[in-house]
Amino acid sequence: MAEGDRRVIVGLDNVGLSYDGEPEILHDLSFALGEGEFRFLTGPSGAGKTSLLKLIYLAHRPTRGRIVLFGEDVTAAPREALPALRRRIGVVFQEFRLLDHLTAYENVALPMKVAGINQSEYREDVRELLNWVGLGDRIDARPPSLSGGEKQRVALARALVSKPDLILADEPTGNVDPAMGEKIMKLFIELNKLGAAVIVATHDISLIEALGKPTISLQNGRLVNGAPKPLKRESA
């Protein structure tokens, strides 16, 4: 591994993505983010933002190129290695992905339960996060009884409960009011200050301007400006 890869949290090297032999939807993506870096991911609808986040989360495998996570080349990582990698990533999905038969508490606690952690070790963290996002009084509510904004906040708490090294958020303020959106972004900023790398996909230009963080811009599946430093290749 190249010397420069050791502190890389997420890196792509000449990555392309296509589905079922169709034309590529992501083309020649090369960039790297280190520990404690924060980037907004911007671009018009259909530019490939969600597909890029799914690549980083290893929900999709690249058609070509190389992906590095936490300093390790994971391009061809075996399926059994993926759960351990994903436990280090907190993802706020645009479509929430909550389980309707579980309460808000149980949805937030699910990553910890799946990891085999005793409930006594995370119970207070779950309750604190739900209180923080304004859902302390909805802790026993199930998703069908929650509004879109409430579901978004449950999904946010679930993504953050394990204190991930990398946070990926797909339009995290799209279903909440401006005050809650500002609160959510402040939490991302605080976690970033504590060392987590953060990528937030958003259309909200005012949010980007208010926080003043650097951007990665996609257009037609290509990086057009603001790309972080490219991933260093392995020495020959």
Residue type, 134: G
Q: Give residue 231's pLDDT.
A: 63
Collect all residues with Cβ–Cβ distance below 8 Å to 20 and sequence separation of at least 6. none
User: pLDDT tier at 1 (50, 70, 90 boundaries)?
Assistant: very low
Collect all residues with Cβ–Cβ distance below 8 Å to 184 and sequence separation of at least 6. 133, 153, 156, 172, 173, 176
Q: Give residue 27's pLDDT.
A: 95
Tokens standing for 133? 């996002």
> Is the pLDDT score of 45 beyond 50?
yes
Residue-averaged pLDDT of the chain: 88
Q: Give residue 2's pLDDT.
A: 43
> Is the pLDDT score of 190 beyond 70?
yes
- Nearest CA to 61 out of 81, 34, 90, 32 is that of 81
Q: What is the pLDDT of residues 66-78, one digit of tens each?
A: 999 998 999 989 9
Q: What domains lie within the chain, and their CATH numbers?
A: 36-60+78-216 (3.40.50.300)
77: left (phi over 0), alpha (psi -120 to 50) or beta: beta
Q: What is the pLDDT of residues 34-43, one digit of tens each?
A: 989 999 999 9
127, burial (CB in 10 Å: exposed 0-12, middle 13-18, buried 19+): middle
Tokens standing for 221? 């599946």
Are residues 41 and 199 in contact, defined by beta-carbon separation less than 8 angstroms? yes
- Residue 28 backbone phi and psi in degrees, to 5: 50, 50
Are residues 157 and 136 in contact, defined by beta-carbon separation less than 8 angstroms? no
Residue 67, classed as helix, strand or coil, is strand
**Predicted TM-score of the model (pTM):** 0.86
